[in-house]
Amino acid sequence: MENPEVTVSAVCGGSLVLAMAGLLVGRHATTHHMGLDMLDATGVHAVSARVVDDGDLVTGAGVTSGLDLGLYLLEREVGPRIAHAVEELFAHERRGTVWRNTGPQPARF
C-alpha cells in the first residue's frame, strides 16, 4: 500500500476486488471460502481464516465476519476494553483467532 499510516480493510468479495486490481500481490488475505482459490490465483497468499491481519491490510472472510473484523480493528487501534464494550453493545461475541504471519510454522499432518 502507498501510505503506512493508512490501514486498508475489506470483507468478503472486497478482498477479491483489491486482488483483481493487483493491489494484494504477495500479501496475506482472506475472502469468502468460495473465493479463496480465485484469491490465490491472483498472487495473494490466501488464508482460510475469519480475519487476517497483514499489517496495513486487514481482511475478513464472509460477510458475517465483518463485525469480527471491525471489532478487531477497534481493539488494535484503541484497545481491548473499548472493543469489549462495543461487543457487549452489539450483543456479539467474536469468533476465532485473528491470523497473523508471525510465530512458528505449524507442522503439516
User: Could you list the active site residues?
Assistant: 12
Would you say how long the chain is, in residues?
A: 109
**Cα–Cα distances in Å, from 90 out to 4, 9, 87?**
30, 20, 5
CA distance 44 to 95: 24
